[in-house]
Amino acid sequence: MDNNIKIDWKYTGISDKEIYAYSEKVKKVHKELNKNIEDKDNYTGWIDLPINYEKREFEKIKKIAKKVNTDSDVLIVIGIGGSYLGARAVIDALTNKYERKSTEIIYVGNNLNPTYINEIIDYVSDKDISINVISKSGKTTEPAIAFRIFRDLMENKYGIDEARNRIFVTTTKRKGALYKIAMQEKYVKLSIPENIGGRYSVLTAVGLLPMCVAGINIDDIMAGAKCAAETYNDDNIKHNECYKYAVVRNILYANDKNIEILASYEPKLFYFAEWWKQLFGESEGKEHLGIFPSSVTYTTDLHSLGQYVQEGRRNLFETVINVENPNSDIVIGYDEEDLDELNYIAGKKLSYVNKKAMEGTIQAHVDGDVPNIVINVDYLDEIVMGQLIYFFEKACAMSGMLFGINPFDQPGVEKYKSNMYELLGKNK
Amino acid sequence: MDNNIKIDWKYTGISDKEIYAYSEKVKKVHKELNKNIEDKDNYTGWIDLPINYEKREFEKIKKIAKKVNTDSDVLIVIGIGGSYLGARAVIDALTNKYERKSTEIIYVGNNLNPTYINEIIDYVSDKDISINVISKSGKTTEPAIAFRIFRDLMENKYGIDEARNRIFVTTTKRKGALYKIAMQEKYVKLSIPENIGGRYSVLTAVGLLPMCVAGINIDDIMAGAKCAAETYNDDNIKHNECYKYAVVRNILYANDKNIEILASYEPKLFYFAEWWKQLFGESEGKEHLGIFPSSVTYTTDLHSLGQYVQEGRRNLFETVINVENPNSDIVIGYDEEDLDELNYIAGKKLSYVNKKAMEGTIQAHVDGDVPNIVINVDYLDEIVMGQLIYFFEKACAMSGMLFGINPFDQPGVEKYKSNMYELLGKNK
């Protein structure tokens, strides 16, 4: 299998010499990353996951998905942050939201908004449903509340026994509140390896079960990720584009480019950008440092944030994901009158116009002192999504460690929680 | 009618004295803004629009909406930037996407992606549709191409005569390509006043027709906006919270807080934030200055960007929209086992937990040196949306002029277009 990701560095304004100056640092971090991958305190289990994943667990995922596809119109995925963003990123990228070929996936437990939940309760009232609840501890407030609500709903709808057949639990092996609940209630369990953190967990059961239920070919997702794992395992920065992305980000940051905008011309990548924002924002935003991650869909947002990107503060750079070939195309028609003056592109494909818009935009932004990193892939499919996921995971780890921070913790996320617990009167 | 917007300034860390130091500047800008509102080159027509809007046009909008509701399952809204974001902001805020009570609204012409359009073409193939094409000139590439495609589709589906009855054009009065097409084809026309720019146009036919078709009470939208127009017409900053918001943003920016995050705990406000980002980003992002506008939905994004907000670079501030009362609520149930340890909030409403999460988050972020401006509204309805829209429009104009830039132009948006035209071989 060929790695599909080809990066164009020419719009970054950074020389090979500047990049290669990081060679030794990169080698050192690479060694550090690969040391004791199995150690649960290292949170580096995702590194060789695409090669060493548990095949039995994988078959179990497929079996569950098959059952859910047979008996459920909707799978309710309960999870927050890394417990749903990765699955949603892939599912949105590869499916048609207007015409589903498989069970619909609905995401809850990622907020505390009652209207959001009530509308979903109404919507599923006349549908057959299953639940996949995803949480390491089982005590995170948002998914825990949603699970109480939907478990109750399921038991009222189907009775306790049939509800039990429709609830699937993804949690830590042999510990935690959710594990205990699953044991007690005899729910089918899938496990989250202890050495993989939430935002790096998309290629575990966390992401794979919802994907598989949505009709995604998870063998190909893993095959793509495996290809990337092999490609990006080279400690020589000259041959490792993933590490090069990490280094270029570090150089841009050192040059006061402290906002990174992930841009694409494919609306289906919206949630991929959300996943990417958590990955990088949560990994690097600490110690009063880090690149602020933002995202846009072009050409849509050229008529929104575009003005700022072109002429606002010059502390920005863009990372553009260019999907070379769309799934389908449209030929622009000819019009006798031509009052809209579009006949000069009549007969052209819309994808061609989209491509020229991209090229024109990159040039305009680069001319306006916004460096661009252009990540090209041929098309969007499972293999490419697997490659992109692994590419960004590995780049994020390297990038954070080059910054000198720990890319695997998230101490700041606890602060709102402890304030909230205090306001709610939770006993310590 | 009471103005519903109440702002809490105590988390900004800015004293009244600092704010009142802007009194004279504010008075001067206020005078400047109110000078020659009718002048089409001033682009300040939105200022007294809620008071002086054309009632005949308004009745025409309602009549068209009634017809569309009768004969169409879907209204295709063709427009980019300000030509769809305002309508979508209000419609998403006030309707239930799972259970529509009115004609469905689908937005096209805001990108150049063929897959996006083809999926919609398939989706509407067995549905009755109408079109509302919205463009000042009629020559902007994205909506112009979409209009060619969907006009063709309509004529094939219904024949030219019936298609004509189902196409509604919102454009400049008596000029431009789209006006000419509408005249020639005898389409029903609605007009965009020349003295109102795209991102300030939501309360004209641009936003009102799609809203009305979606079942929004546009009388109440205008009544809310009128109330805000009266409330925020005071040139004394001590009594004008809208101008105060503008001043506080200027002070924060002067203190190196150059990223503003619009946050809410209501997922339905997602597109309101998109509208806001265009409004502020396009108005202020010029001359290498301006606050970078970003947005989040909490608590969702506390498990994504939350870490960065808490501990990343300290150049951020947040503007929180707090909706005091949700449309519906849920009481958290009691569980005998309590393995998830939620019984301490059993019997409490979910909205209460959401509120405590907000309070805890504001405190955590403020403690982490992220100033917060908290905008409180009692609930989400048409009147409040009208007020919020006008509040931000007026604040944006004041804020931009205090920065010393022209908040009504967008010179940078042309650059990608001219590059694209050149690459596509368009004759000058």
**Is A170 contained in some domain?**
yes
Residues B203 and B272 in one domain: no
> Rounded to whole angstroms, how far apart are CA atoms A416 and B112?
40
The interface residues of chain B toward chain A in range 44-73, judged by CB-CB distance below 8 A, are none
Residues sharing a CB contact under 8 Å with residue B412, sequence separation 6 or more, in sequence order: A306, A307, A308, A309, A310, A311, A368, B285, B286
Do residues A280 and A347 share a domain?
yes
- Give the C-alpha separation, B79 to B142, whole Å: 8
* B327 and B271, same domain (yes or no): yes
Q: How confident is the model at residue B224 (pLDDT cuts 50, 70, 90)?
A: very high
pLDDT band at residue A428 under the 50/70/90 scheme: low
My answer on whether A247 and A365 are in the same domain is yes
- pLDDT at position A376 over 70: yes
Q: How many domains does chain B have?
A: 2
pTM: 0.98
- Residue range(s) defining the domain that contains residue B333: 6-34+233-403
pLDDT tens for each residue of A84-140: 999 999 999 999 999 999 999 999 999 999 999 999 999 999 999 999 999 999 999
Residue A39: what pLDDT?
87
Interface contact flag, B354 A148, Cβ < 8 Å: no
Residue A271, pLDDT > 80, answer yes
User: Do residues B179 and B114 share a domain?
Assistant: yes
User: Residue B241 and residue B377: Cα distance in Å, rounded?
Assistant: 14
Same domain, A61 and A139: yes
B38: confidence class by pLDDT, cuts 50, 70, 90: confident
Same domain, B174 and B260: no
Same domain, A274 and A341: yes
Helix (H) or strand (E) holding B248: helix B241-254
What was the pLDDT predicted at B427?
78
pLDDT digits (tens, 9 = 90+) for B159-182: 999 999 999 999 999 999 999 999
Q: What CATH code is carried by the domain that includes residue B184?
A: 3.40.50.10490
* Interchain contact A300–B (C-beta under 8 A): yes
With beta carbons under 8 A apart, name residues in chain B contacting A308. Answer: 281-282, 284-285, 290, 292-293, 412
**Pairwise CB contact (< 8 Å): A312 & B333:** no
Dist CA A248 CA B183 (whole Å):
54
- The nearest CA of chain B is from the CA of A46 a distance in Å of 19
Choosing from A274, A282, A284, A382, the catalytic residue is: A282
Chain A positions touching B178 (Cβ under 8 A) are 340
B428 has a pLDDT exceeding 80 = no
One domain for residues B27 and B65: no
Classify residue A422: in a domain, yes or no. Answer: no
Both B21 and B66 in one domain: the answer is no
Cα end-to-end span (Å), chain A: 52
Question: Which residues in chain B have Cβ-Cβ distances shorter than 8 Å to A423?
Answer: 356, 359-360
State the Cα–Cα distance between residues A158 and A129, nearest whole angstrom.
10
Angle subtended at Cα B244 by Cα B371 and Cα B305, rounded to the nearest 5 degrees: 30
Q: How far apart are CA B300 and CA B374, in angstroms?
A: 18
Q: How far is C-alpha B198 from the chain's CA centre?
A: 11
- Report CB contact under 8 Å: A312, B285: yes
Question: Do residues A413 and B306 touch, judged by C-beta distance below 8 A?
Answer: yes
CB neighbours of residue B414 within 10 Å:
12
| Burial track B43-60 (b if 16+ CB lie within 10 A, e otherwise) | bbbbbebbeebeeeebeb
Q: Does B340 touch chain A (CB under 8 A)?
A: yes
In a domain, A262, yes or no: yes
Structure confidence at residue B375 (pLDDT): 98
Residues of B in contact with A113 (CB under 8 A): 265-267, 326, 350, 354
Asked if the structure places residue B414 within a domain, the reply is no
- B284 half-sphere exposure, CB direction, 13 A CA radius: 29
B202 in contact with chain A, both atoms CB, cutoff 8 A: no
Contact B213, B74 (CB under 8 A): no
Please check whether residues A18 and A59 belong to one and the same domain: no
pLDDT, mean over chain A: 96
> What percent of chain A is predicted at pLDDT more than 90?
97
Active site (annotated) includes residue A288: no
Structural domain includes residue B421? no
Dihedral sign of CA atoms A169, A173, A177, A179 in order: positive
Whether residue B169 lies within 8 A of chain A, CB to CB, comes out as no
Task: Over range A197-209, report the average pLDDT.
Answer: 98
Token pair, residue B214, equals 């979606």
Q: pLDDT of B240-275, one tens digit each?
A: 999 999 999 999 999 999 999 999 999 999 999 999
Is residue A428 one of the residues assigned to a domain?
A: no
ipTM of the complex as predicted = 0.97
- Residue numbers of A between 119 and 148 with CB closer than 8 Å to B: 119-120, 122-123, 138-139, 141-142, 144-145, 147-148
Which of B310, B333, B349 lies closest to A415 in CB terms?
B310
The answer to whether residue B341 scores a pLDDT higher than 80 is yes
Q: Stretch A383-399: mean pLDDT, rounded?
A: 98
List all residues of chain A from 353 to 412 with a beta carbon under 8 Å from chain B.
353-354, 356-357, 359-361, 363-365, 367-368, 410-412
| Chain A partners within 8 Å of B339 (Cβ) | 138, 177, 180-181, 184
Mean of pLDDT values over B204-214: 98
Interchain contact, B282 vs A304, CB within 8 Å = yes
Pairing of strands B316-323, B74-78: unpaired
- Does any domain span residue A326? yes
Binary contact (A353, B141; C-beta < 8 A): yes
3-state DSSP assignment of residue A390: helix
Minimal Cα distance from A294: which residue of B? B294
A289 close to B (CB below 8 A): yes
B358 and B288, same domain (yes or no): yes
- Quick check: is A69 in a domain? yes
Residues in Cβ contact with B53 at an 8 Å cutoff, skipping those fewer than 6 apart: B203, B204, B222
Mean pLDDT of B2-13: 95
Q: Is A303 one of the catalytic residues?
A: yes
Nearest chain B CA: its distance from A139 CA (Å) = 5
Would you state the structure tokens that stand for residue A342, as one six-digit string?
């579009």
Report the chain B residue with the minimal C-alpha distance to residue A299: B111
Residues of A in contact with B266 (CB under 8 A): 113, 115
B347/A contact by beta carbon, under 8 A:
no
Planar angle of CA B376, B86, A304, nearest 5 degrees: 100
